[in-house]
Amino acid sequence: MSKGKILITPRSMSKNGHPGLAALTNAGYELLTPFPGKMPTEEELLSILPQCAGFLAGVEKISSKVIEACPDLKVISRNGVGIDNVDRESAEKMGIALKVTPGANSRGVAELTIGLMFSLIRAIPQVNSSVKSGKWERPKGMEILGKTLGVIGTGMIGREVISMATGMGMKVLAYDLYPSDLLKDNEAVKYAPLEEVLAGSDIITLHCPAGDKPVIGNETLKLMKEGAWVVNTARSALVDDAALLTAIEEGKVSGYAVDAFDSEPPELNGLLRNDKVLTTAHIGGFTAESVDRATRAAVANILAVLE
Residue 82 has pLDDT above 80, yes or no: no
Q: pLDDT digit string (tens) for 27-74? A: 999 999 999 999 999 999 999 999 999 999 998 999 999 999 999 999
- DSSP string for residues in 66-117: HHHT-TT--EEEESSS--TTB-HHHHHHTT-EEE--TTTTHHHHHHHHHHHH
Could you tell me the pLDDT band of residue 12, with boundaries at 50, 70 and 90? confident
The reply to whether 270 and 173 lie within a common domain is yes
State how beta strands 148-152 and 203-206 pair: parallel
Least confident of 1-5, 52-56, 94-98: 1-5
Task: Please give the backbone phi and psi of residue 99, each rounded to the nearest 5 degrees, phi first.
Answer: -125, 140
Assess whether pLDDT exceeds 90 at residue 2: no
Q: Give Dmax over CA atoms of the chain in angstroms.
A: 66
If asked whether residues 262 and 120 sit together in one domain, one would say yes
- Domain, as residue range, for 243: 106-279
Q: What is the mean pLDDT of the chain?
A: 96
User: Is the confidence at residue 295, as pLDDT, over 90?
Assistant: yes
Q: Based on the domain organization, do 119 and 267 belong to the same domain? A: yes
- What local confidence, expressed as pLDDT, does residue 140 receive? 97
The catalytic position among 18, 78, 235, 293 is 235
pLDDT band at 276 (very low <50, low <70, confident <90, very high): very high
184 in the same domain as 163? yes
Please indicate, yes or no, whether residues 201 and 111 belong to a single structural domain of this protein.
yes
Give catalytic status of residue 18 as yes or no.
no
pLDDT in tens, 48-58: 999 999 999 99
Same domain for 91 and 112, yes or no, is: no
Candidates 30, 88, 196, 282; catalytic one: 282
Q: Are residues 229 and 272 in the same domain?
A: yes
Residue 219 among the catalytic residues: no
- Tens-place pLDDT, residues 139-169: 999 999 999 999 999 999 999 999 999 999 9
* Confidence (pLDDT) at 122: 98
Q: Per the omega criterion (within 30 degrees of 0), is the bond before 265 cis?
A: yes
Instruction: Give me the catalytic one of 42, 92, 249, 264.
Output: 264
The verdict on 97 and 193 lying in the same domain is no
- The mean pLDDT of 227-240, rounded to a whole number, is 97
**DSSP helix/strand/coil, 291:** helix
pLDDT of residue 169: 98
Task: Using alpha carbons, select from 226, 247, 231, 199 the residue that is nearest to residue 118.
Answer: 231
Considering only CA atoms, give the Rg of the chain. 21
Are 55 and 185 part of one and the same domain?
A: no
Q: Are residues 51 and 18 in the same domain?
A: yes
Q: Is 290 helix (H, G, I), strand (E, B) or coil?
A: helix
Clarify whether 282 is annotated catalytic.
yes
3-state class (DSSP) for residue 25: helix
What secondary structure does DSSP assign to 163-200, as a single string? HHHHHTT-EEEEE-SS--GGGTT-TTEEE--HHHHHHH
Segment among 120-129, 239-248, 282-291 with least mean pLDDT: 282-291
Residue 284 has pLDDT above 90, yes or no: yes
Q: Are strands 54-57 and 75-78 parallel, antiparallel or unpaired?
A: parallel
Confidence of residue 80 (pLDDT cuts 50, 70, 90): confident
Number of folded domains that form the chain: 2
- In this prediction, residue 105 carries a pLDDT of 92
What is the rounded average pLDDT of the residues 79-101? 92
Q: Average the pLDDT over 113-136 and give the result.
A: 97
CATH of the domain at 91: 3.40.50.720
What per-residue confidence (pLDDT) applies to 81?
Answer: 80
143 shares a domain with 232 = yes
Residues 66 and 133 in one domain: no
DSSP state of 239: B
Percent of the chain with pLDDT over 70: 100
